[in-house]
Amino acid sequence: MTSAVLCFIIKDGRVLLAMKKRSFGKGWWNGYGGKIEAGESPLEAVIRETREEIGIVPKDPVHHGTLHFFFEDGKTPDWQVHVFRADGFEGNPSETEEMAPQWFSVEEIPYNSMWKDDPHWLPLLLEGKRFEGKFTFRDNVTLLSHEVTEL
């Protein structure tokens, strides 16, 4: 199972999402993150990935949940993703080769252009709750089953 992190900045009733421009998840709005490197903690990884992908450093990111993703296509690895939330940041969000950031009001989150699991757990994150989720996909698009538990 591949270990990764995901970060969301939430401020003044808005969430900073980013359009993935290449590789895994291309064409979807998402938080920012990626694989945890050897010897790196999830917290260290989320700070590094956010800086690399959208040019900012999250202030005091808090771990809110862990998501487990299983793919039945035989090509996509399974993932364990640590999800963080931060209410502040340093720097200016900017587009990189990897992602293009954009603010959305909480009421206008583009769920139809996001991973199909997001509507099942992102509202909990936005409410500041802790959670754990398990999702099984046929491929990168088809969600077969899900289970989310509020902790």
Residues in contact with 107: Cβ distance below 8 Å, sequence separation at least 6, in sequence order: none
Furthest CA-CA distance within the chain: 41
What percent of the chain stands above pLDDT 70? Answer: 100
Residue 98 has which token pair?
């990897």
88-111 pLDDT, tens digit per residue, is 999 999 999 999 999 999 999 999
Check residue 75 and give its pLDDT. 86
pLDDT digits 0-9 by tens, 28-56: 999 999 999 999 999 999 999 999 999 99
pTM for the complete prediction?
A: 0.96
Is the pLDDT at 79 greater than 90? The verdict is yes
**What is the structure's pLDDT at 90?**
97
Cβ–Cβ under 8 Å, residues 59 and 91: no
